Amino acid sequence: MQSIIDEIARDMMAIENKGEVASYIPQLAKVDPNQFAISVALTNGEVYQAGCADTLFSIQSISKVFTLTLALGKLGDNIWHRVGREPSGDPFNSIVQLEHEHGKPRNPFINAGAITIADLIMQGHAPKEVLAEILHFIRYVADDDSIAIDEKVAHSELKTGARNASLAHFMASFGHFENPVEKVLGTYFHHCSIAMNTTNLAKAGLFLANNGVNPVTGYTVVSAQRAKRINALMLMCGHYDGSGEFAFRVGLPGKSGVGGGILAVAPGKASIGVWSPGLDKIGNSKLGTMALELLANKTGWSIF
Ligand code: DON
């Protein structure tokens, strides 16, 4: 495994056009695009890493996997009254379907869906308390107590979050929200601003690769059925309007973030964190996707 990912990291660093870093969140625009990292956590507990696997980056939408898991833990299948389970085929921050679909987002991974999930997990609590719970959960699954929110990124998102605020207010106009919109947005922006490295991510996804049980600690995080379902959603919706292309090229459940990270799950085998901040046109990591495609080819891990 080490030689496979060393070779992938070398190949990725040799590519000149590494994509464009996200610029709509000013703090993310400052990140050097010339970086690549990959970490592979096997279900037998071994962890392999290559590139700058200790460098922290903004996990952005990858956080939506963890907030969805938390929401399912708190409310079970009741969440599906508020959010759907279908791919949207539209960009991550699109508002267009909400009007025809009564303010119910297509899935928990588009921005509107994740904002809804934030509302669901708040249950009247202050953003600070809810964020502490989200962080606690991520630290627990990643087995790293130092994971924290990057306040500069959160501030940057808040200042430039007009689109997300529009989505939230539009959904609230259907009478769906249980908490004040500003507080829900504050929670959402802050959980997107959590900073992790690829090894954190790989370890955090292990429960999804191992039927809901963290194979290292032996703790059951979710039931086997729930792990399967979260993986199904990641496969169908984890890359927005690029989900079909990702399934075609990589063949693994995956969740991307505009910080350039991707968490991919090879059920029964491994959890993989990749990061390279340059994005493709859809907003998914360009080299991250290429690296996962190479890894899936070399290991035969595609689920198909
Ligand atoms: O709300 C946003 O726009 C960001 N906090 C997250 C978007 C994101 O990561 C989309 N992923 N590719």
Decide if the complex's ipTM is over 0.85. yes
Phi and psi angles of residue 6, each rounded to the nearest 5 degrees, phi first: -60, -45
Beta bridge partners of 264: 254, 272
- 262, 243 Cβ separation under 8 angstroms: no
Separation between Cα atoms, residue 22 and residue 19, nearest integer Å: 10
Per-residue model confidence (pLDDT) at position 214: 95
Give every CB contact of residue 222 below 8 A, 6+ residues apart in sequence.
69, 72, 73, 207, 212, 230
Per-residue model confidence (pLDDT) at position 143: 95
Q: Helix 111-122 crosses helix 181-192 at what angle (to 10 degrees)?
A: 110
Q: Which residue ranges have their beta carbon within 6 Å of ligand 1?
A: 60-61, 92-93, 111, 157, 164, 192, 256-258, 283-284
- Residue 60 alpha carbon to ligand 1 centre in Å: 5
- Quote the strand ranges of the chain, DSSP E: 37-42, 47-51, 57-58, 148-149, 194-196, 254-256, 261-266, 270-275
Atom of ligand 1 nearest to the CA of 93: 3
Q: Helix 63-75 crosses helix 127-142 at what angle (to 10 degrees)?
A: 110
Per-residue model confidence (pLDDT) at position 169: 97
Tokens at 18, concatenated: 């590494």
Per-residue model confidence (pLDDT) at position 45: 96
| Residue to substitute in 258, 274, 282 for testing ligand 1 pocket (most ligand atoms within 8 angstroms of CB) | 258
Question: What's this model's pTM, rounded to 2 decimal places?
Answer: 0.97
Per-residue model confidence (pLDDT) at position 156: 95
**One-character DSSP codes across 31-96:** S-S---EEEEEETTS-EEEEESTT--EE-GGGHHHHHHHHHHHHHGGGGGGTS--S---S-TT--H
pLDDT tens track, the chain, 304 positions: 999 999 999 999 999 999 999 999 999 999 999 999 999 999 999 999 999 999 999 999 999 999 999 999 999 999 999 999 999 999 999 999 999 999 999 999 999 999 999 999 999 999 999 999 999 999 999 999 999 999 999 999 999 999 999 999 999 999 989 999 999 999 999 999 999 999 999 999 999 999 999 999 999 999 999 999 999 999 999 999 999 999 999 999 999 999 999 999 999 999 999 999 999 999 999 999 999 999 999 999 999 9
Per-residue model confidence (pLDDT) at position 18: 94
Which position has the token pair 């909400």?
Answer: 98
From residue 301, alpha-carbon distances to 199, 209, 227, 295 in Å are 19, 12, 18, 8
Domains of the chain: 2-60+194-299 (3.40.710.10), 63-192 (3.40.710.10)
Please tell me the residue having the least CA distance from ligand 1 atom 11.
257
Per-residue model confidence (pLDDT) at position 282: 92
Give every CB contact of residue 192 below 8 A, 6+ residues apart in sequence.
58, 59, 60, 61, 63, 153, 154, 157, 257
